[in-house]
Structure 1
Amino acid sequence: MSLAVSPQARDALQAWLETARALKGQSDNTEAAYRADVLGFILFMTGYRGDAQGLGALARISTTDMRAFMAHLRGQGASPRSMARKLSAVKSFYRFLADREGFEPTAVLSARAPKFQKKLPRPLTEDAARAMIDSVGDQGREDWIGARDAAVVTLLYGSGLRISEALGLTGADLPLGDSLRIRGKGGKERIVPVLRVARNAVETYLRLCPYEMTPGAPVFRGQRGGPLNPRLVQKVTAAARMQLGLPATATPHAMRHSFATHLLQAGGDLRAIQELLGHASLSTTQAYTSVDQVHLMKVYAAAHPKAG
């Protein structure tokens, strides 16, 4: 289908992706999603307008064309969240074209994304988080597998790691110290604390693990010795939450939410927590934390240089 895209448009798309990567350090997955979103837009316009969408044709996109595109997405069953993401990618592409090619992007930039309710994360209580770790460790058919799963979930909660970050640890990161250097989304590095309980959990797993731990090998192994699949972590967490009677929102990622929320509830500084989580925006960190507004304002009052 990419044959319907002119070489000029294809080159512009690649240049935009490369610029976005250089400026924002976005991940391979994000780049692939952006490429698919914009390519989908160009291909739709090719069929809708009946000709290949070179730069000249893309410059003539109208408000009516944009409405047709949004209707097309809706007709395909795209969710409001998905439609908003696709439109955001197209708008970003057109801002790039406006700067590079002198496009007039108003028709595209004025297109409205559908409204949707953002799903706020639901962290666990401290007791539920501890119970989850214990229960996950009891799910494994073999002792080393139970110890492995408990170590992974302990790192999610104790250090605020994403699943991909925990499973990305290699033998070169061992032995774990008081802190750990993590390369997160977009290649951004951060230093996270490693609590003794997390170090102990990893050490217990390593003592039981039947596979040799070399510097380049993944710390967390699947049953046959390969890298642990994140779906297995999700599966064992689902089994644990059912056993404990916890809601469906008690996912591995909820352990990371809980890390942030419990730190803030204990009086932690919002910006420090932002750094620990590796968020580019403070607003993202706020969405991760589930605390009452009164407590949040107290934290701001205590931390803000102009407060008081």
Structure 2
Amino acid sequence: MDRILSQLSSSLNTAKTIDQLIRPVLEMLNTITGMESTYLTSIDLHQSTQHVRFARNTGQMTIPEGLTVPWGDTLCKRALDMGRPSTNEVLALWGDSDAARQLGIQTYVSAPIRNGEGDLLGTLCAASAAKQTIPPNIDALFQLFANIVANFIEREVLVEKLQAANDQLAAYALMDTLTGLPNRRAMFEELARLLAQAVRSQSSVLVGVIDLDGFKQINDNFGHQAGDDFLKAVSQRLTACLRTADWLGRLGGDEFLFIGPGPALDAAATDTAIVAGESGKVAAALQQRLTSATVGSYTLAGETVSYAGASIGVVAVSPGQLSPDDVIQLADVEMYIVKRARKAH
């Protein structure tokens, strides 16, 4: 037994996953009991099923990993209900279990695995088709092992929850919480990646700055909640007209940023920051499409408001040595040209 406890201690110190812990545990239980199968199950009480997660089989009787059986037919449930965790008279005691009859189980030991709140997570079991003498204190030993496994499972669940929370925090750090769009940081990171990719592929990059004219008046006339609703509605309309590879993000306030891959560059295009030709035509068409998407009626604070559209400047740039700030500045200049022209009319 000292050797078993030493092996258990070593497994606990080195195991990083439930797989790394349970395989040695099942081997130890096999050594202690001499039974043909030792296995760990999970139990879904909502679905009323028991699932064999891990199994070790050393004889003719096999408990297959992945086996799922109705919880009500299991020896584990009968053992818990009766308060009898071990027996070598399975067929006489629980002969109504189809699974036990099909497998020919005569000797059986199990211990429940529960979390800190006492909820049943699964069972740790040993079974044999032979009628074997059950070692003394086996019930207590199995429960000790089951408690160790339960603690490990809870630790693993906690780690998974922490990882999920960290992933969520990372996502929030790159997301504008109002619109659900990428925020300034995310857009700058993606723009830097897109520029580097465009250098390698000798292609242009499309960049657009979107400024919502009249946004202050909407806030003043209908309230800040209506302003927020307007921002969300505009972001949805703009998103609906994007290509698969395009990105739309919110820079802050009433300003949005569009970025996306452009057409391939010709030899002359690499000498200028803003590209004309085919890339310029694509930028102009995209500018018109984005502008048209913002025009229309919006329901704000229970009223229908007609909106003439945003000021949008889209340029196709040759990436060269341009930084994200550089290309956004080029699109910003184009946006202000559009804004001045709109005011003149």
Please indicate, yes or no, whether the TM-score normalized by the shorter chain is above 0.5.
Answer: no
Between Structure 1 and Structure 2, which shows a larger proportion of strand residues?
2
Specify which structure has the bigger relative contact order, considering alpha-carbon pairs within 8 angstroms and separated by 6 or more residues. 1
* TM-score bracket for the superposition, by shorter chain length: under 0.3
